[in-house]
Amino acid sequence: MLLKSINPANSEVIAEYPEYTAEQVNTIITCVNSSFKSWRKTALHERMDCIKRLSSKLEEKKELLAGIITSEMGKNIMESRAEVEKCVWLCNYYFDNAEDFLKIKPIKSNASESYISFQPLGVILAIMPWNFPFWQVFRCAIPTLLVGNTMVLKHASNVSGCALAIEELFRDAEFPEDVLRTVLVSGKKVESIIAHKRIVAVTLTGSEKAGRSVAQSAGSHLKKCVLELGGSDPYVILDDADLDIAVQACVKGRLLNAGQSCIGAKRFIATPKIYDRLESMFVAEMKKARIGNPFDENNKLGPLAREDIREELIAQVNESLKIGAQLLCGGQVNYDNKGFYYPATVLSKVKPGMPAYNQEMFGPVAALIKARDEADAIRIANDTNFGLGAAVFTSDIEKGKYLAEFELEAGCCFVNDFVKSDPRLPFGGIKESGYGRELSIYGAHEFANIKTVYIK
């Protein structure tokens, strides 16, 4: 079987990669496990030196890597550069903080001495998506490797070039051989890899459907997993919000990565007092989003990553319109264009039962919802099976803090800004958006044996 990398801007095949055989996969896992035995005993400062060299290699090859990202999954070249730069930031953050995160923590007890030590687990399987093909890998790999684990990467099949480039980066940075290896396989092979006796834990970023499957497989083998799944992030705009700030942030959050983000802003909820103004400003801003060749920096929106992703989005929009949503802009696909483009689109009169209300819309489609009042807006925001991100816009900062901390049901809640990941802050969701945390100190501990040591 061949795994195809297709340029979403023109639907042309970039490369074809033979799928690894079961024997090849087993050999790679065995090698990564052998590497673990020595990597776990490598001094932390030596692991940190590897991370620092990796940061330098990312900087050095930024334009090359950004080009691979844009060619394989279609995001605007400026966003691809920013993705590589964010990986540099992450490497530097963990380089600066690894010693503090992983140092022994003394604990008072009845013992003469007792403490917590953070020890590695073994070979971690990372199942990663295509939408941020470098960032998603790095945000789980860097803290996991610093603890002393090793990693097998099963990347999305349509970004196999990115997967191999990441593996090469680790070699260029002079990591020990087989600390991180890629396996080029289809999703159908994942269950057998999870079952491999040398795999001790799994991390997945992907769809809710994929999360259920991976959790079931991992659970049946008593292997820990971290899941970062889909989202239908609500943004609540209160009557006292600065609408200029709110609309700019909301549109940016919706159009980032052409709307292909689990934490992308998706549902925008306002009360009658400001709804009409919000709608008018929102539509005007969305109409400014120029669509076209992602290597042209003047274009805001590149294509969606795959044809099937666009077709699913089209179906969701059409079904929402069929049962009562109103199209305010966008929504029309130019099939004469060979790429998988979809314009910035705004839907109003969005109600429960519509895909635009209940499902994750993975593309540049915004759902505007009018609430009865503030309490109803919060109710609508929480009326979802997802719980990844949420935001509230208000000039009353204390109220915003209260709503973000206590009322909005999500793992990441922002006030007066769109939801984004940051190496310094823990990242993850609740409900059907998954469990576990990446980034910050918490990401460094997810795949550690948090070991109690007790001396009498």
Q: For position 409, which CATH number holds? A: 3.40.309.10
Asked whether residue 338 is assigned to any structural domain, the reply reads yes
For residue 337, is pLDDT > 90?
no
Identity of the residue numbered 263? I
**Does 221 lie in the same domain as 111?**
yes
Identity of the residue numbered 286? M
Distance CA 238, CA 377 (A): 9
Asked whether residue 160 is assigned to any structural domain, the reply reads yes
Among 50, 262, 412, 413, the one annotated catalytic: 262
- Per cent of the chain over pLDDT 90 is 99
Residue whose entry in the numeric block shows the structure tokens 């609508």: 380
**Does 292 lie in the same domain as 180?**
no
**For the chain, what is the mean pLDDT?**
97
CATH number at residue 6: 3.40.605.10
Any idea what DSSP says for residue 61?
Answer: T
**Does 107 lie in the same domain as 139?**
yes
**Does 190 lie in the same domain as 338?**
no
**Does 241 lie in the same domain as 141?**
no
DSSP H or E stretch at residue 34: helix 22-39
Residue 138 CB contacts under 8 Å (≥ 6 apart), including other chains: 87, 90, 91
pLDDT tens-digit readout, 385-439 = 999 999 999 999 999 999 999 999 999 999 999 999 999 999 999 999 999 999 9
Asked whether residue 159 is assigned to any structural domain, the reply reads yes
**Does 237 lie in the same domain as 220?**
no
Asked whether residue 421 is assigned to any structural domain, the reply reads no
In the annotation, is 285 catalytic? no
Among 79, 228, 360, 374, the one annotated catalytic: 228
- Per the structure, how many domains does the chain have? 2
What pTM does this model have? 0.97
For residue 334, is pLDDT > 90?
no
Asked whether residue 108 is assigned to any structural domain, the reply reads yes
The token pair that represents 222 in the structure block? 């008593």
**Does 435 lie in the same domain as 379?**
no
Identity of the residue numbered 34? S
Q: Which pLDDT score, from 0 to 100, does residue 270 have?
A: 98
Structural domain boundaries, residue 45: 2-229+431-455
**Does 269 lie in the same domain as 147?**
no
In the annotation, is 262 catalytic? yes
pLDDT band at 249 (very low <50, low <70, confident <90, very high): very high
pLDDT tens-digit readout, 250-300 = 999 999 999 999 999 999 999 999 999 999 999 999 999 999 999 999 999
Residue whose entry in the numeric block shows the structure tokens 């639907």: 11
Mean pLDDT, residues 109-131: 98
